Amino acid sequence: MAALAQQEAGAVRLGVEALLNERLKVGGIVDNFYRLQALAVPASSIVRAGGLYSADLLLVSGYSRKQGLWMQVNGDTIPVSSDGRGKVRFPVARQLPAGQDSLAAFWDGKVTVQITEDYYQTLRVRVPYTIVR
């Protein structure tokens, strides 16, 4: 999954570079933020009850600057590495409701990037996962 996410990020960057080159040819203004996307890459979408959920949260963009980047998971701020990735880790429920072998759940991620001195853009992602007995 992580390899696919890296390939997608590379493809997005190549696409942005191609579009920027074409815009320059026709006299367009270069927009380094042509496309921004928050992406979650879970280790697995199935977690055992009482286990630890694990994923990477990252910003996919043609823009390479990583300063001015903040991430949150379920309202809590998480650290961002020098390569712009946030490590998502949290324990899941220890008990499932009586009579259930699985439970659908989700987590909310938020990536905020500083575009200019006074403009910030926030991208949100909701990631489903399943807790199993």
CATH number of the domain where residue 25 is located: 2.60.40.10
- In 1-133, where do the E strands start and end? 36-42, 46-48, 52-61, 69-73, 76-78, 85-91, 102-116, 119-132
Helix (H, G, I), strand (E, B) or coil at 96: coil
Q: Is the pLDDT of residue 26 over 80?
A: no
Q: Is the pLDDT of residue 1 over 70?
A: no
Residue range 15-44: mean pLDDT, rounded: 68
Residue range 51-63: mean pLDDT, rounded: 84
Q: Is the pLDDT of residue 3 over 90?
A: no
Residues 89-131 have pLDDT tens digits of: 999 999 999 999 999 999 999 999 887 788 888 999 999 999 9
Longest CA–CA separation in the chain, Å: 64
Is residue 47 within 8 A of residue 129, CB to CB? The reply is yes
Helix (H, G, I), strand (E, B) or coil at 79: coil
Distances (CA, A) of 94 to 49, 78, 103: 5, 23, 12
Q: Is the pLDDT of residue 28 over 60?
A: no
| Structural domain count, the chain | 1
The residue ranking higher by pLDDT, 101 or 66, is: 101
Which structural domain range is residue 10 located in? 2-132
